[in-house]
Structure 1
Amino acid sequence: MSIIQSAETTGSERLLNRVAITAVVTNVVLAILKVSVGLIFRSMAVLADGIDTSTDILTSSTVLIATLISRRPPDKGHPYGHHKAENIGAKIISFVIFYAGVSLMFESLKRLITGDYVALEGALPLLAAALSVVGKTFLFTLEYSVGRKCKSQSMVAEAKNMRNDIFMSGLVFFGVAMNKLGLGWMDPLVGLLMSLMIIKVAWEVFEENLHDLMDGLREEEMWIYEKVFEACKKCGASNPHKVRVRKIGNKFDIDLDIEVREDMTVKDAHEITKCIKKVLSASKDIYDIVIHVEPEGNEEIEPYGLSTKDDVNGRKG
């Protein structure tokens, strides 16, 4: 791994692993409970909630696997490391969620159109929905806080799905309650509403990871360019240009060109690059920095990259 990375990374990865395992175990228990109750009582809403939780088991497992893969150090085939495994994991999660949402939507519509719904008996369906709300609230709080703390895109994505699950389980509780009051159609209707929300979450998770996989930055991350320009000015480098920043895992990988006096010695020019790296590396958000030195006034056709002439705050990555 890069020497810029600290030992703190290992602690974050271990924490992510523990949270992912906790999520898998909790979801297994909830899935078994809700699927069983849904099948026994023929409740479309409870069954749909159980199927959704079953997909959460897969997504939690995907987060765990992605985290384990991302821990692997750089090698000959992957000199930049394996950190994008988390972004790939988040993409897989989005497809799984989308499939579950579409499947639930068609089944719910079918039951509404054909009138295939029954009056639910007993308190177990209500109890299953209530336990789901409690369990999902616990997982959301845990995953969102840890995901933000460790800057894990895939765990934050799963937490957002969990947040949606809290509302859906509450909706299931309401639907079951209305069914028991004589409104039998509320059960498949709730299933339909749940499916639409699941599809919406799938799109949000998919869209949020587009930037990282395309080596771009979100608008709120563009501040890193200003930091680069400030470091160059502080260290005496001229005309920082062809500045390109991408994310590797949750850290920034920076490439840039600078200009120095043409009569400057190689040693002095190297000292300037060391100064820039030292200033930028004071932040824990930096993965690696590569600096190319050119003489002042150098003119050549450069590949795309930002410079001090660009409107950094107004440009999206």
Structure 2
Amino acid sequence: MATKPQPTATTSQASAAAEARAATRVTLIGMILDLVLGVIKCIGGALFHSQALLVDGIHSFSDAASDLVVIAVMKVSRLEPDQGHPYGHQRFETLGTMILGATLIAVGGALAWDNLERLFVDTDAPLPEWPVLAAALLSVVGKEWIFRYTRKVGLAIRSELLVANAWHSRTDALSSIVVLVSTLGAMAGFVWLDALAAVVIAVLVGHVGWGFTWRSVKELVDTGLPEEELERLKEVARTTEGVRNVHDLRSRRMGHNILVDVHLVVSPDISVSEGHQVGMQVVARMRESLPDIAHITFHIDAENDEQGRPTSLQLPSRKTIQTELEACLSRPVSPGRLRLHYLRNKVHLELFVEDRGTGPEAEALARAVHSLEQHPWFGSLRIWHGPD
């Protein structure tokens, strides 16, 4: 079993550090924007009779708090693998994405519930004034800009968490649109219009949050790649020179990375090093096909162990077989002159002897063959003669 060597630690650390800096920079910008907008909207809502704008300001402060979570999670998820986390820390990013997705669902549910109540309950309250429109419009423009900026960076560094946070920013823009609609509706006499629009937008917000949460849950329970991608990897392996068959191809995601395990069937007559080289060729071609693959562990099989009976654990070891041969031949057998092939629950032997197998040597070899044939695990014995 072997795993493809990863890029050097220096290269990997530099890339992770650059990604972390980009994520931190855009998230800090978004957090500052959220704090500024939160202050403007809360003060504006209180002074100009808009409960919707006041709640929207609280929503902006909650966005700033989630930005702090994103910064902390991004820093942890980009740490190098260690003894406790040999595959890295990307699952922390998955957890953060799930939390943000759940937050979107909660925000959508709260907005929907609040505005459903407003649809059916008349409230006598002072009408909002025009500064509410200005504050809401400023929020829409600012949050739409930070959404596009954050999403661009998130896609560039392949961070689901950052993309989720971008959509979280857009919910603030959507809620500000609700404020605009509700204010205009109230001024025009159609008070119910803003509540209806808010319910529709809240459902959309919840739908986006559900998408992020469900994808994160599937990753946390090690859901594999889509079938078409698995078939592509199998085809890559099958068409690699030296590979006879492929089975037990398994996959899972960890953040933006893909982890793969695969069994490769090769000829039982090739050396261990040649089998390993075949596996390394498969690894290289798989990573060309799916660049997000971070780790590939391959197992070299001399036969397809999915077919027939499972390989028996009762087959004798090299030491046991070598001891029996040495007793029959009355001389030591060096490890390099004995090859063992464990195939179809039998042991097939290749023995290299220096002479032509005449006289006492021939008798000794005959005794060895007779002794081996008494065992149910014995498959065959091939004897090679000659000094080389």
TM range (shorter): 0.7 to 0.9
Partner of 1:29: 36
In 1, the alpha carbon distance for the partners of 2:310 and 2:218 equals 26
SS of the equivalent of 1:258 reads: strand
Q: Which runs of 5+ in 2 are unaligned?
A: 312-388
Equivalent residues, number: 300
Alpha-carbon offset, residue 224 of structure 1:
5.2
- For the structure 1 residues 103 and 69, does the alpha-carbon distance in structure 2 shift closer, same or farther, using more than 3 Å as the test? same
Map Cα deviations across residues 281-317 of structure 1 (whole Å, 9 max, x no partner): 4464121110011112434569xxxxxxxxxxxxxxx
Partner of 1:237: 243
Of residues 168-177 and 267-276 in structure 1, the stretch that sits farther from structure 2 once superposed is 168-177
Larger Cα Rg: Structure 1 or Structure 2? 2
Q: Deviations over 1:151-170 (max 9, x none)?
A: 11111122223334434322
Counterpart Cα distance in 1 of 2:21 and 2:135:
32
User: Counterpart in 2 of 1:311?
Assistant: none
Contact 1:243 1:254 in 2 (8 A): yes
* In structure 1, distance between residues paired with 2:206 and 2:41: 21
5+ residue gaps, structure 1, are 303-317
Instruction: Tell me if the contact between 2:119 and 2:192 (Cα under 8 Å) persists in the aligned partners.
Output: yes
Q: Distance in 2 between matches of 1:111 and 1:278?
A: 60
RMSD of aligned residue pairs (Cα, Å): 2.7
Q: Give the secondary-structure state (helix, strand or coil) at the position aligned to 2:297.
A: strand
**Does residue 124 of structure 1 match 2:131?**
yes
TM-score (structure 1 length as normaliser): 0.83
In structure 2, the CA distance between the partners of 1:190 and 1:42, relative to structure 1 (3 Å rule), is farther
Letter in 2 for 1:223: E
SS at match of 1:235: coil
1:56 to 50, 63, 77: 63
Which residue of structure 1 lines up, in the alignment, with residue 274 of structure 2? 268
Q: Give the secondary-structure state (helix, strand or coil) at the position aligned to 1:209.
A: helix
TM-score (norm 2): 0.69
Deviation at 1:38, TM superposition (A): 2.3
**CA separation in 1, counterparts of 2:203 and 2:124?**
20
- Per the TM alignment, residue 245 of structure 1 is displaced from its structure 2 partner at its CA by 1.2
For 2:126 and 2:247, the matched residues in 1 are separated by: 69
The within-5 A match list for 1:72-221 is 72-186=79-193, 191-217=198-224, 219=226
- One of 252, 262, 265 as aligned partner of 1:259: 265
Deviation at 1:232, TM superposition (A): 4.4
The one-letter code sitting in structure 2 at the alignment partner of 1:140 is F
* 1:49 positional shift: 2.4
Paired position in structure 2 for 1:248: 254
Structure 1 residue 96: Cα displacement: 2.2
Identical columns (%):
28
CA distance in 1: counterparts of 2:251 and 2:185, whole angstroms: 54
- Matches of residues 291-306 of structure 1 in structure 2 within 5 Å? 291-298=298-305, 299=307
